[in-house]
Structure 1
Amino acid sequence: MFYSLKNRLIVFFAVLLFVSFGTMSYLFFTESRSIIRSYIESSAYEKMDEYGSFVNMALAQIYDVSSIVFNSHTTKSWATALSDPGLPAGEKMLANIDLSQFLTQTTNNYSIVSSITVYRQEGMWISADNQIMNDSSFKSEQWYDHFITRGNEWVSAHQDPVEVLRSKPFDVLSLLLPIGTFEPSQSKNMMKINVRSAFFLEPLNRIHLGEKGTIFLLDGEGNPILGQHEYASHPEAAKQMGAIRDNRLQNGVVYLKNNQGARDILVYKKLKLNNWLLVGIVPEADLYGKLYKLRASMLIFVALLLVAAIAAAIWLSHGISRPLSRLASAMRYVQIGDFDGAENRITNEDKVRNEVGYVTATFRNMVSRLRQHIKTEFELKLLRQQAEYKSLLMQINPHFLFNTLELLSSLAMQHRIQDTVRVIESLGKMMRFSLKISNDLITLEEEMIYVRHYVSILQIRFADRLHITFQEDETLRQSVIPKFILQPLIENAVKYSFREQAEAKVIIRVRQDHNRLILTVADNGPGIPKELSQQLQAESLASQFEQILNSRSQQIGLRNVLARCQLYYGALFAFKIDSTLQQGTCIELMLPIQGGMTDV
C-alpha cells in the first residue's frame, strides 16, 4: 500500500513542502535581515550626505557674512571711532547708527541669517534696526565666557536676548567671532551671528531611519547643537563619541546595547568644515520587528499548506494532476494581475514531453511577454507625461524674467530708484516662490499672492494706463490648484489690451460654481478669433502636448496653461473662451475643488 501513487504523493508532498519551505524561510529570514541592515546603512549614509551638503552650504553662507562684517570699512571705522577718547559723543552715536544700518543691510541680504549683533567689551551692543544698547549683561552669559576663555565659536540652540527684544522668541544657533583680531581673549569687539535653529532642524526632522530612528547633529565635543533633548536618552551613544572622534574614518557603523538590553545601530558621519558630527540611532528591533512577524506567519502558512497538500494528494493520484493544478493556479494569479506569482507557479521545462507540457510552456511564455509589454507601456506613458508637464512648467519663468529684466533696465536708465527697488523686491519674492518645484500643487491663496506681486510690477511699468481689478471669494483661499496658471493669462490680457488702445482694463475673478472652482481673466483687448478658440478646444481634447512644447506662436502662454491643467485633471478640466472682436476676451478655467495637497 505504501508504494501506491496516492501514498507516495502524500509522503512526497509532505517532505518536499516541509524541507523546501523550512529552508526557504530560514534563508529568506537570514538574507532579508542582511539586506535590511545593508539598506539602512547605505540609506543613512545617503541621507547624511545630503544633509551634510546642506549644512556645509549654510555654514559657508554664515562664514561669508562674518567675513563681510569683519572686513567692512564701516566696522573698522566704528571700532576706531569708539576707541578715540577725544571724539565727541555725537560722532560716536553717528558711528553706532552707521554700523546698525550696515548690519541691517547685511542681514537682509542673507535670508539664512536671523540677526547680527556686535558686542563691545566695555559693555554695549549694536544690532540691526537701530538697536544700540548700553548693557553689559551679556558678559554673564555662558556663551560669552566660553568664547573668551575657551575660544568656542559656536553656541548651541538657545534663547538670545536680542531676538527676544525684537519679539522673536525662538531658539537660535550662533557663530561668535572677534573683530579686529583673531584671538578672542585679546579682542575688544566681537560679533554674534544668529541663525534660527529651525533652519537646520526642520530638514533634519524629515530624515527618518526606520520608524523610531533619529539623526542628531553634534558639535566637536559630542553635544547636541540643535537642542535635541532626546539625545540624553542614549547615554551609551555618548560614551562612543570619544572613540568616534579619534578614529580617522569619516563615517561608520557601531552596534550598541541600550538600557533594555536590546541592540541599537549607530551610524555616524563627520562633517569636515567645522568638526561637527551627524549621528543616527535606530533600534535593531525596529528594523526587524516586521521580519520576525513575517517569519511566524510563514511558519503558520507552511503548516497550513502542508495539511492542504496532504489532503489534495489523497485525491490527486494521477500524474497529470500536478501540472494542471499549477497551470490553473497560475491562471488565477494572472487574473488578479500578479504575473510574478503566475510564473513562479509554472515550471520552466527545457523539453516539452506532452500536450500538457506544451500548454504550460506556451502559457508561461505568454505571461512573460504580457508582463513585459504592460510594464514597458506603463513606464513609457508615465515618464512621457511627467516630462511633458515639467517642460510646460519650465516655459513660464524665462519668458516673464526677460520682460522684467527689460523693465528694470528701463527704470535704471530713468533713475527711478524707488520703483526699481519695488520691482526687485516683487521679482525676488516671485522667483523665490518659483524655485520651489517640489510641489506642483499650491493653494489658491499662494497663487494670488504670486499674482499680486506680478501685478505690482505691471503697475509700475504702465502706471495709470493699466487698471486691474480683483474679485475674490475669500472662502476659496485654501483650494488647491496647479501653480502658475493665472500669471500667463494676465500677461496675455495686458499685452493684447495695449496693442490697439492706450489703456488696458483687466478683471480677475475667483468664484465657486457647485463643486467647481472658476478662475476668470477678462480684458478689453482686440479679442480672439473664433477659429483660434475652436483650435484651442480641439488641441485640449486631443492632448497635443508635443505640438505645444514645440510651438513658437504668440499664444504659448495660454496653450501652456491649458495643457498643464489638462495633464493634471484630464476629463475633470474644462475651459471657456468668450471673445468679441474689438471688445475684449474672457477666459474661464473650470477646475474641480480640492481641499488638500492631493493629486486628482
Structure 2
Amino acid sequence: MFYSLKNRLIASFVVLLVLSFGTVSMLLFNESRSIVRSYIESSALEKMDEYGSFINMALLQIYDLSSLVYNSDVTKGWDIALSDPGLPAGEKMLANLELSRFLTQTTNNYSGVSSVSIYRPEGLWVSIGNQVVADRAFLEEPWYKDFVKLGNHWVSAHRDQVEARQSKPYQVVSLLLPIGTFEPSPFKSVMKVNVSADFFLEPLKRIHLGDTGTIFLLDEKGAPILSQNEYVSNPETIRKIEAVRSIRSPKGVVYLENNRGMNDIVVFKKLNQWLLVGIVSEEDLYAKLYKLRNSIILFTTLLLLCAILVATWLSYGITKPLSRLASAMRSVQKGDFANAESRIPDEKTVRNEVGYVTSTFRNMVVQLRHHIKTEFELKLLRQQAEYKALLMQLNPHFLFNTLELMSSLSMQQRTADTVKVIESLGKMMRFSLRINEDLIALQEEFKYLKHYTSILQVRFGERLLISMEEEGGADSRQIVKFILQPLVENAVKYSFLHQTVAKVTVRIGIEPDRVRLIVEDNGPGIAEALVQQLYAESRSSQLEHILNTGDQQIGLRNVLARCQLYYGNRFSFTISSMDGDGDGAGDGLEKKGVSPGTRIELVLPVQQVLTNVSK
C-alpha cells in the first residue's frame, strides 16, 4: 500500500516539510542577519554618497555666490564709498541701495541661498530687499564674535535678524567671509550668506537607518551643523563620533559597543568641509528577525499538520482527471481538436488545481482553433496599428522644434516673424489633427509643406534656399500623409552640416499610374553603407526597430516604413549621393565642379480613393 499515490503523497509532504522548514528555521536567522548587515552597510554608504553629492553641490553654490559678490565692482564701489569720510550721507545711502539691489538679484539666481548680507563694524548692515539698517546689535551676536576672534567661517543652525525681518522664522546655516581681504583680522566689512537649515535637513531626514537610527551632519571640529539636539544631549554619541573622526579613511563602517552590551553600527563619510555620521543599533536592525524566527517555527508545525490532511484529500481527486487530460493532449498532438474537447473532463466534476488546468487546457484548444481561423485578420490589424504608431512619432518631433523657434523669436522681439510662425503652425496643427485620415490629397500635402517651409524661412532667412516644383496635374491623386515634411526637414538639417547656405529642391511628378516625389539637397551625402541598410530594412520590413527608435533618426526611416506598410510591394524608392562617405568629403568634389548632396526619390502608386493597408 505504500506505493499507492495517496501514501506516497503523504510521506513526501511530511519528509519535505520537516527537512526543509527545519533546515530553514536553523539557518534563516544567521543568513538573514548577515544579509541585513551587508545591505545596511552598502545602502547606508550609497545614501551617504548621494547626500554628500548634494552637500558638495550646495557648497559650490554658496562659494560661487560668495565669489560673485566678493569680486563685484558694485561691492568694491560700496566699500570705497562707505570708507570715504568726505562723501555726503545721501551718496552713501545710494551706494547702500545699489548694493542691496545687487544682492537681491544675485540671491535670486541661486535657489539654495536664502539671503546675503554685508555688515560693517560701525553698526551698519545691508541685505536683500532694500534693507539698510543701522543697528549695532549684531556686534554682540555669537557668530560675529567667533568670526572676529577665532576666524570661524561657518555658523551652525541659528536664528538670523535678516530672516526675522522678512517674516522667515526658520533657522539658517551661514558662511562668513571678509570683504576686501582674505584674512578676518583686518577686515572692514563681513559678508554673511544664509542657507535655510531645512535645505540641508529635509533630504537628510529621508535617509533612514532602521527605525531608530540617526544621521548627523558635523563641521570640521565635530560640532553639529544642524539642529540635532540628540547629539548634544548624548555623551555616548559624542564618544563614538570622536572615534570616527580619528579614522583616516574617507568613508566606511565600524562597529562600536554601546552601554547595553551590544554593538552599534556607525557609518561615516568625510566631505570636503563637513563630516556625515550615521548610528544605528543592532537591536533595532534584528528585532524583526527574532520575531520572524518564532513565527517560522509556529507556522512549520501548523503547516505539517495541514499537509497530512491535504495530501490525503488530493490523492482522491488527481488520478482520474489527469488520465483523461493526458488522453485529450494526445488528440491535440495529432491535430484532432474535436475529439480532444470530448475527452476533456467536465468543469463541474473537478474543482481543484487539476480543474483549473483542465479548464485552461479547454480554453487553449478553443482559442487555438479560433487563432488559426483569424490569423490573417489579426495580421492586418497589426499592420494598421504599426502604421498609426509610426505616424504619431512625427507630430511631437516637429512640434518641439517649432516651439523652440517661437521661443527664440519672442526673446528677440521679432513680432512679425512670431505671428507668421504661429499662423503657419496653426494651419499645420489643424491639418495634423486629422489623424483618422491615412490618405490625403496631394495638393493638401503640398500646401502643408509650404506652411512648414515658411517656418524654416523665418528661422534661417537667406541661408536657406528652397524651391518646389510640380509637374503634371494632381487632380484627385492621394498619397500617404506627412511624407514630404520629414524628408525636407532632414535635407535642411544635413545641408547645414556641410554648407553655410542650404539648398533644397522638391519636385512632384504626376504620371498616369504613379506619383514621383523627389527631394534633393546640397548636404554631405549619405554613406553607402547606410543606404544599403535602408534598402535591407525595407525588404525585411523591420518595423519594430523604427517604432522603438524614439527621437533620433526617425525621419527617413519613418517615411519609408509607413509607405512600406501602406503600399506594400507597389512602393519603391531610390537614394543617391554624390558623396558616398557621408563624412564631409564633399570638399574634394566641389573642386572638381561637382556639388555634393543627396537625392531621395519615392515612387507611389496612384490612389484615387481611401484604401486600407495592402494585403
- Which residue type is aligned with residue 288 of structure 1? Y
Structure 1 counterpart of 2:410: 407
Alignment deviations for residues 560-585 of structure 1 (CA, whole Å, 9 cap, x no partner): xxxxxxxxxxxxxxxxxxxxxxxxxx
Structure 1 counterpart of 2:85: 85
- Which residue type is aligned with residue 95 of structure 2? A
Residues 9 and 269 of structure 1: CA distance in aligned 2, closer, same or farther (over 3 Å): same
Structure 1 counterpart of 2:26: 26
Structure 2 counterpart of 1:212: 212
Residues 246 and 546 of structure 1: CA distance in aligned 2, closer, same or farther (over 3 Å): closer
Q: Find the aligned partners of 1:396 and 1:531 in 2 and give their Cα distance.
A: 16
Structure 2 counterpart of 1:226: 226
Residues 212 and 397 of structure 1: CA distance in aligned 2, closer, same or farther (over 3 Å): farther
Structure 1 counterpart of 2:333: none
Structure 2 matches for 1:48-59, cutoff 5 A? 48-59=48-59
Residues 34 and 395 of structure 1: CA distance in aligned 2, closer, same or farther (over 3 Å): farther
- The Cα shift of 1:6 comes to 12
Structure 2 matches for 1:70-219, cutoff 5 A? 70-219=70-219
- The Cα shift of 1:497 comes to 8.2
Partner secondary structure for residue 28 of structure 1:
helix
CA contact (8 A) 1:237 1:266 kept: no
Q: Find the aligned partners of 2:159 and 2:296 in 1 and give their Cα distance.
A: 54
- The Cα shift of 1:192 comes to 0.1
Give the percent of matched residue pairs that are identical in Structure 1 and Structure 2. Answer: 54
Residues 199 and 545 of structure 1: CA distance in aligned 2, closer, same or farther (over 3 Å): farther
- The Cα shift of 1:90 comes to 2.5
- Which residue type is aligned with residue 144 of structure 1? Y
Structure 2 matches for 1:127-526, cutoff 5 A? 127-232=127-232, 234-258=234-258, 263-272=263-272, 274=273, 276-307=274-305, 399-410=402-413, 461=415, 495=423
Q: Find the aligned partners of 2:99 and 2:246 in 1 and give their Cα distance.
A: 43
- The Cα shift of 1:142 comes to 0.8
- The Cα shift of 1:155 comes to 1.1
Residues 122 and 398 of structure 1: CA distance in aligned 2, closer, same or farther (over 3 Å): farther
CA contact (8 A) 2:267 2:279 kept: yes
- Which residue type is aligned with residue 280 of structure 1? G
- The Cα shift of 1:73 comes to 1.8
Partner secondary structure for residue 65 of structure 2:
helix
CA contact (8 A) 1:178 1:184 kept: yes
Residues 548 and 123 of structure 1: CA distance in aligned 2, closer, same or farther (over 3 Å): closer
Structure 1 counterpart of 2:485: none
Q: Find the aligned partners of 1:312 and 1:531 in 2 and give their Cα distance.
A: 62
Partner secondary structure for residue 184 of structure 1:
coil
Q: Find the aligned partners of 1:234 and 1:257 in 2 and give their Cα distance.
A: 15
Q: Find the aligned partners of 2:113 and 2:555 in 1 and give their Cα distance.
A: 43
- Which residue type is aligned with residue 154 of structure 1? W
Give the root-mean-square deviation of aligned CA atoms: 4.7
Alignment deviations for residues 380-438 of structure 1 (CA, whole Å, 9 cap, x no partner): xxxxxxxx999998987655333212321346xxxxxxxxxxxxxxxxxxxxxxxxxxx
Q: Find the aligned partners of 1:227 and 1:396 in 2 and give their Cα distance.
A: 50
Alignment deviations for residues 250-292 of structure 1 (CA, whole Å, 9 cap, x no partner): 11223345566654322111112x1x11122233233222222
Alignment deviations for residues 444-485 of structure 1 (CA, whole Å, 9 cap, x no partner): xxxxxxxxxxxxxxxxx579x99xxxxxxxxxxxxxxxxxxx
Q: Find the aligned partners of 2:118 and 2:308 in 1 and give their Cα distance.
A: 84
- The Cα shift of 1:76 comes to 1.7
- Which residue type is aligned with residue 68 of structure 2? I
Q: Find the aligned partners of 1:83 and 1:31 in 2 and give their Cα distance.
A: 71
CA contact (8 A) 2:66 2:193 kept: yes
- The Cα shift of 1:548 comes to 9.1
Partner secondary structure for residue 194 of structure 1:
strand
Q: Find the aligned partners of 2:95 and 2:134 in 1 and give their Cα distance.
A: 15
- Which residue type is aligned with residue 208 of structure 2? H
Residues 389 and 30 of structure 1: CA distance in aligned 2, closer, same or farther (over 3 Å): farther
- Which residue type is aligned with residue 213 of structure 1? G
Q: Find the aligned partners of 1:285 and 1:391 in 2 and give their Cα distance.
A: 59
- The Cα shift of 1:33 comes to 0.8
- The Cα shift of 1:209 comes to 2.4
- The Cα shift of 1:15 comes to 7.4
Instruction: Tell which structure's C-alpha radius of gyration is larger.
Output: 2
Q: Find the aligned partners of 2:429 and 2:404 in 1 and give their Cα distance.
A: 26
Q: Find the aligned partners of 1:530 and 1:401 in 2 and give their Cα distance.
A: 21
Q: Find the aligned partners of 2:392 and 2:220 in 1 and give their Cα distance.
A: 46
Partner secondary structure for residue 185 of structure 2:
helix
- Which residue type is aligned with residue 284 of structure 1? E
**Gap regions ≥5 residues in structure 2:** 323-356, 358-390, 440-480, 482-543, 557-615
Of stretches 39-48 and 234-243 in structure 1, the one that deviates more from structure 2 is 234-243
Alignment deviations for residues 340-381 of structure 1 (CA, whole Å, 9 cap, x no partner): xxxxxxxxxxxxxxxxxxxxxxx9xxxxxxxxxxxxxxxxxx
Structure 2 counterpart of 1:358: none
Structure 2 counterpart of 1:487: none
Q: Find the aligned partners of 2:426 and 2:432 in 1 and give their Cα distance.
A: 17
- The Cα shift of 1:19 comes to 5.1
Partner secondary structure for residue 226 of structure 2:
coil
Partner secondary structure for residue 64 of structure 1:
helix
Q: Find the aligned partners of 1:526 and 1:17 in 2 and give their Cα distance.
A: 67
Residues 495 and 231 of structure 1: CA distance in aligned 2, closer, same or farther (over 3 Å): farther
Residues 498 and 302 of structure 1: CA distance in aligned 2, closer, same or farther (over 3 Å): closer
Q: Find the aligned partners of 2:394 and 2:26 in 1 and give their Cα distance.
A: 49
- The Cα shift of 1:27 comes to 1.7
Residues 497 and 118 of structure 1: CA distance in aligned 2, closer, same or farther (over 3 Å): same
